[in-house]
Amino acid sequence: MTAAPPTRSAAARLLPMIAGRIASSLLTLFLVSVVIFVASSLLPGDAAQELLGQSATPAQIAALRHEMGLDQPGPVRFVHWLGALLHGDPGVSFVANMPVSDIIANRLPNSLLLAAITALISIVLALTIGIASAINRGGRIDSALNIATLSLVAIPEFLIATLAVLAFSVKLLWLPSISLVTPETGWAETLRALALPVLSLTCVVVAQMARMTRAAVADQLDRPYVEMARLKGVPFGRIVLFHVMPNAIGPVINAMALSLSYLMGGALVVETIFNYPGLASLMVNAVTSRDMPLLQSCAMIFCATYLALMLVADIVAILANPRLRA
Amino acid sequence: MTARGILSRRELLGAGVAGVGLMALGGCGPSPQRRPAAASSGAGAIRVASMAASTKDTLDPAKGAMATDYVRHYMLYSGLTSIDDDSLRPRPALAESFDSDDRITWHFRLRRGVRFHDGAPLTSADVVHSLRRHNDPAVASKIAAIAAQFAEVRADGRYGVTIRLTGANADLPTLLAQAQFLIVKAGQDHPDGTGTGAYRLAQFEPGVRTLVVRNREYWIPGRPHLEQVELIAIPDETSRVNALLSGDVHAIHAINPHSLPRIEASGTCEAVVTPSSLYTNLIMRQDHLPTSSPDFVQAVKHMLDRPLINRALFRNTAMLGNDQPVAPVMPYFNRELPQTVLDLDRARWHVRRGGLNGLRLPLYCSPAATGSVDMASILQEYGSQVGLEFAVNRVPADGYWSTHWMRHAMTFGNNNPRPTADLVFSLFFQSNAEWNESGWKNERFDRLLTEARGEADEVRRGELYGEMQRLVHDRCGIAIPVFISLCDGYDKRLKGIKPIPLGGFMGYRFAEFARWED
């Protein structure tokens, strides 16, 4: 297993695949933006009406529509937006009257931080749980871990989050019940603020990854090569880490990529409960205020993240598995 | 091991659920230790959570649309007049006096020596700019419709302003106390928070937070009492209440009445219930059949179980409504009007007389209009007892106002507290008003409305508004079951809070009055 991989052939295999995937990703992004544009045009009301609210006069609505360019036909607006985006300008938010890039620059680091910390903790945890229960298959540890992970999958995150708030914030007063992160807050304070959101999200994603790891590792442990390695006297820990894991990593990485992309856009419930200023709540905001440029940018980020993670998962799976690499 | 695994998990869950239950029952004692006010700074720095924040948040008073905006604007800016207590009478603020002979031309004399946060003195130029900009469509003022009655706003020397109206309006000083009419600096097309208010802006991030610090040169000596106020929004009600109970915030806006027991049981926080003229009303369009039938309208008004709505939806915090929009807390409330009560026999009689028996009618409700979904269910239940069959259509909040409100024979509306009877009548009941919700037309009502607006004699004005309330109560296709009270929660160490019926958070102005006492 320690033999040097035939780098040239791997690169030769990988590069066209990456190029193809990037091309299809761009096409996907384009189609997603079309779907979002069409879907949000079908919603009742437009940004001018939503912004001015109930008390708007027709003259005000007309003036604002003109200012926002909403008086132009839909396809024209879409082409303008797409053209600007291709030049690197995601436009100006209708509602906040600020460049979309500024708004997202405020929120994106928050989402990334939350996702990164959760990912770090949950990947380590999931691998440990998955491997531990796979090698103890049928044993007590396996049953206990199975029950724990299955229960976690079954409990919705808002329940976990609410119970955690009641226990740790309201009763024990250990941790803040809302996560206020500002650039000035120090690391210790930020970590404290993130503790409960990370806990809730970890519960959601760890279970799925752990189940997948267990299944993949257990599958490999039944293979003849494992038996052979054991007969040859290879230490069990070494078998699991260096022989089984590279073969099992494909589906595991895939499950991880799915979970991580969920962390970017699907953290809405957790963002709502902890009032965390992330991207998911920004996107919901953009939908309710019909803020097309902001909505499109959020959607593009989520979609691109998802596609990128999937691509990375495939590449890692290929690189980790000698048979796929050859 | 496995069994114990389940057990411990169940125990854990059980403990959590029991904890919730106990708290709901008020069985838990108060937590002994409390967090100090805002961890970062000394005493008098508080954090306040409102209900909604979005990228729409603004520093421009003219664009203010939500409680979070009003609170922010009242901290940063001051108005010509202000409403400081539950009498709802306007008092001089930046204007040290105001008068008018005919209630058409008004003279305001400005207080001297008032400075903006950047040191510039307040002059008539600032006031003229602040008032005139509402009539510019590009500003997109929320109260352009009210400001349309300004025929002319001009400076009268350095410290005088004259406003000439298109018609007499005795309520002008009250209107000018509204958040949108707060005074900004001359020349600022996009106000940046530089006002004459009790607090200076330190940080503003739309949708996230507003941080203000005490203005030591505030024109009212001795105010404000707090060093720093951080205004955030927590849209989720449960999270908002939890944040108050855990001491992460010190005041919260818009509590569901069903959360009040949790707050009262905490021992460290208290709820302040503000009676208001906020109402959710049932609209029966007068240009549709059969809702235009007077018998139908009377039947519906007599089959509303108002005490039940008050008890079940609002835990008895609301005030019973009498199908007219002037709440008991407002000036000119007509006490002589008999209260309409649940009377199914009378409702049945109206249904029979109108030939409406067995009628099936869709009823549109939405979470957008507070409580309307439950009200619709209650109405459906009583309807079946008098021979009317209501089909309850629950529609999403998003887009409700533009697609459903007033567009079907029966929908629900939701109207915020307005500072004057004139305003609520002219917005929602005048024949030609854009939101004449029921589409009723009553010439006498319209005549009385114009007459009352310019009437100087308070007693006569009271009579006119009294008669208008009677007309709406008797004839209009609007049913107002209850006036909804506004519930806020405060840390008990925050003192000086009293209800002002214009809105929660002391009519959005609590930051000016609140004190911190450990």
Model ipTM value: 0.74
Say if B437 falls within a structural domain: yes
Name the token pair of B93: 């603020």
* Contact (Cβ atoms closer than 8 angstroms) between residue B325 and residue B279: yes
The least confident of A85-94, A317-326, B253-262, B317-326 is A317-326
Helix (H) or strand (E) holding B82: strand B81-83
* Contact (Cβ atoms closer than 8 angstroms) between residue B236 and residue A166: no
Say if B389 falls within a structural domain: yes
Domain boundary among B181, B211, B228: B181
User: What residues contact A190, with CB distance under 8 A and at least 6 apart?
Assistant: A113, A181
For residue A45, which residues of chain B lie inside 8 Å, CB to CB? 399, 402-403
For residue B56, which residues of chain A lie inside 8 Å, CB to CB? 51, 95-96, 289
For B247-358, list the strands marked E by DSSP. 251-252, 269-284, 319-320
Burial of A167-186, coded b for 16+ CB within 10 Å and e otherwise, reads bbbbbebebbbbbbbbeeee
Nearest by Cα to A285 from B67, B208, B370: B208
Cβ count within 10 A of residue B15:
12
In this structure, are strands B251-252 and B45-50 parallel, antiparallel, or unpaired?
parallel
Domain boundary among B133, B148, B181: B181
Indicate the residue of B19, B65, B205 with minimum beta-carbon distance to A167.
B19
Between positions 222 and 261 of B, the ones with CB within 8 A of A are: 232-236, 238-239, 242-243, 245-249
Say if B189 falls within a structural domain: no
Q: Is the pLDDT of residue B307 over 90?
A: yes
* Contact (Cβ atoms closer than 8 angstroms) between residue A62 and residue B421: no
- pLDDT band, residue B368 (cuts 50/70/90): confident
Say if B65 falls within a structural domain: no
- pLDDT band, residue A42 (cuts 50/70/90): confident
Let me know whether B85 and B172 are in one domain.
Answer: yes
Question: Given this model, what pLDDT does residue B115 score?
Answer: 94
Nearest by Cα to A198 from A146, A255, A122, A134: A122
Mutation target vs A (from B54, B69, B415; most A CBs, 10 A cutoff): B54
For residue B236, which residues of chain A lie inside 8 Å, CB to CB? 272-273, 275
User: What residues contact B111, with CB distance under 8 A and at least 6 apart?
Assistant: B92, B93, B94, B95, B96, B122, B219
The whole-angstrom separation of Cα A226 and Cα A248 is 13
Indicate the residue of B16, B23, B236 with minimum beta-carbon distance to A163.
B16
Q: Determine whether the interchain pair A177/B248 forms a contact, defined as Cβ–Cβ distance below 8 Å.
A: yes
Let me know whether B226 and B367 are in one domain.
Answer: no
Between these two residues, B281 and A100, which has the higher pLDDT value? B281
DSSP B142-209: TTHHHHTTEEEEEE-STTEEEEEESS--TTHHHHTTSGGG----TT-SS--S--SSSEEEEEEETTTE
Nearest by Cα to B328 from B414, B421, B452: B421
Let me know whether B320 and B437 are in one domain.
Answer: yes
The nearest CA of chain B is from the CA of A131 a distance in Å of 19
Let me know whether B138 and B255 are in one domain.
Answer: no
The CATH number given to whatever domain includes residue B162 is 3.90.76.10
Longest Cα–Cα distance of chain B, Å, equals 88
Let me know whether B217 and B335 are in one domain.
Answer: no
Q: Determine whether the interchain pair A288/B239 forms a contact, defined as Cβ–Cβ distance below 8 Å.
A: no
Say if B36 falls within a structural domain: no
Between these two residues, A49 and A78, which has the higher pLDDT value? A78
Helix (H) or strand (E) holding A114: helix A100-135
For residue A143, which residues of chain B lie inside 8 Å, CB to CB? 1-2, 5
Q: Is the pLDDT of residue A121 over 70?
A: yes
Let me know whether B106 and B161 are in one domain.
Answer: yes
Let me know whether B394 and B512 are in one domain.
Answer: no
Could you give the C-alpha distances from B269 to B249, B253, B415, B498, in angstroms and in order? 11, 13, 29, 15
The whole-angstrom separation of Cα A40 and Cα A296 is 10
Between positions 63 and 92 of B, the ones with CB within 8 A of A are: 65
Tell whether omega for the bond before A5 is within 30 degrees of 0, i.e. cis.
no
DSSP B88-116: --EEESSEEEEEESSSSEEEEEEPTT-B-
Burial of B86-104, coded b for 16+ CB within 10 Å and e otherwise, reads eebebebbbbeebebeebb
Q: Is the pLDDT of residue A4 over 70?
A: no
Let me know whether B294 and B392 are in one domain.
Answer: yes
Cβ of B1 under 8 Å from any chain A Cβ? Answer: yes
Q: Is the pLDDT of residue A163 over 80?
A: yes
Indicate the residue of B1, B34, B137 with minimum beta-carbon distance to A144.
B1
3-state secondary structure of B283: strand
For residue B135, which residues of chain A lie inside 8 Å, CB to CB? none
Average pLDDT of chain B to the nearest whole number: 87
What residue in A sits closest to B401 (Cα-Cα)?
A: A54
Cβ count within 10 A of residue A265:
20
The whole-angstrom separation of Cα B478 and Cα B281 is 7
* Contact (Cβ atoms closer than 8 angstroms) between residue B127 and residue B161: yes
Let me know whether B290 and B422 are in one domain.
Answer: yes
Question: Given this model, what pLDDT does residue A10 score?
Answer: 63
Q: Determine whether the interchain pair A177/B55 forms a contact, defined as Cβ–Cβ distance below 8 Å.
A: no
What residue in B sits closest to A162 (Cα-Cα)?
A: B239
Mutation target vs B (from A150, A166, A203; most B CBs, 10 A cutoff): A166
Let me know whether B472 and B336 are in one domain.
Answer: yes
Please state whether B60 falls in left (phi above 0), alpha (psi between -120 and 50) or beta: beta
* Contact (Cβ atoms closer than 8 angstroms) between residue B508 and residue B70: yes
Domain boundary among B153, B181, B209: B181
Mutation target vs B (from A102, A111, A170, A288; most B CBs, 10 A cutoff): A170
Q: Is the pLDDT of residue A3 over 50?
A: no
Side-chain-side CA neighbours of B503 within 13 Å: the count stands at: 23
CA B155-B160-B165 angle, 5° bins: 65
Domains annotated for chain A, with CATH where assigned, are 106-321 (1.10.3720.10)
The whole-angstrom separation of Cα B250 and Cα A176 is 13
The nearest CA of chain A is from the CA of B209 a distance in Å of 9
Average pLDDT of chain A to the nearest whole number: 83
What's the one-letter identity of residue B165? L
Indicate the residue of A57, A103, A169 with minimum beta-carbon distance to B242.
A169
Q: Determine whether the interchain pair A275/B232 forms a contact, defined as Cβ–Cβ distance below 8 Å.
A: yes
In this structure, are strands B228-233 and B45-50 parallel, antiparallel, or unpaired?
parallel
The CATH number given to whatever domain includes residue B490 is 3.40.190.10
Indicate the residue of A95, A143, A273 with minimum beta-carbon distance to B2.
A143
Strand B150-155's sheet: what is its strand order? B95-100, B105-110, B160-165, B150-155
- Which 8-state DSSP code applies to residue B236? S
Indicate the residue of A55, A93, A96 with minimum beta-carbon distance to B143.
A55
The count of structural domains within chain B is 3
Say if B230 falls within a structural domain: yes
The whole-angstrom separation of Cα B129 and Cα B126 is 5
3-state secondary structure of B228: strand
Cβ count within 10 A of residue B381:
13
CA B1-B3-B6 angle, 5° bins: 110
What residue in B sits closest to A144 (Cα-Cα)?
A: B2
Question: Given this model, what pLDDT does residue B35 score?
Answer: 52
Tens-place pLDDT, residues B18-30 = 443 333 333 333 3
The nearest CA of chain B is from the CA of A59 a distance in Å of 7
- Tokens 């300004």 correspond to what residue? B150
The nearest CA of chain A is from the CA of B339 a distance in Å of 31
* Contact (Cβ atoms closer than 8 angstroms) between residue B400 and residue B373: no
The least confident of A291-300, B173-182, B358-367 is A291-300
For B208-335, list the strands marked E by DSSP. 209-214, 228-233, 251-252, 269-284, 319-320
Let me know whether B104 and B217 are in one domain.
Answer: no
For residue B5, which residues of chain A lie inside 8 Å, CB to CB? 143-144, 147-148
The CATH number given to whatever domain includes residue B360 is 3.10.105.10
Cβ of B10 under 8 Å from any chain A Cβ? Answer: no
Burial of A22-57, coded b for 16+ CB within 10 Å and e otherwise, reads eeebeeebeebbeebbeebeeeebbbbbbbbebbbb
Question: Given this model, what pLDDT does residue B255 score?
Answer: 92
Burial of B272-287, coded b for 16+ CB within 10 Å and e otherwise, reads bbbbbbbbbbbbbbbe
For residue B48, which residues of chain A lie inside 8 Å, CB to CB? none
Helix (H) or strand (E) holding A314: helix A292-320
Say if B290 falls within a structural domain: yes
Between these two residues, B5 and B454, which has the higher pLDDT value? B454
Could you give the C-alpha distances from B385 to A247, B297, B303, in angstroms and in order? 70, 16, 9
Question: Given this model, what pLDDT does residue B299 score?
Answer: 94
Name the token pair of B161: 């302003």
For residue A285, which residues of chain B lie inside 8 Å, CB to CB? 54-55, 207
The nearest CA of chain A is from the CA of B69 a distance in Å of 14
Bridge partners (DSSP) of residue B339 are none
3-state secondary structure of B348: helix
Tens-place pLDDT, residues B35-82 = 544 444 446 899 999 988 777 789 999 988 888 999 999 999 999 999
The nearest CA of chain A is from the CA of B226 a distance in Å of 21
- pLDDT band, residue A45 (cuts 50/70/90): confident
Say if B215 falls within a structural domain: yes
Domain that holds residue B154: 79-181
Let me know whether B207 and B288 are in one domain.
Answer: no
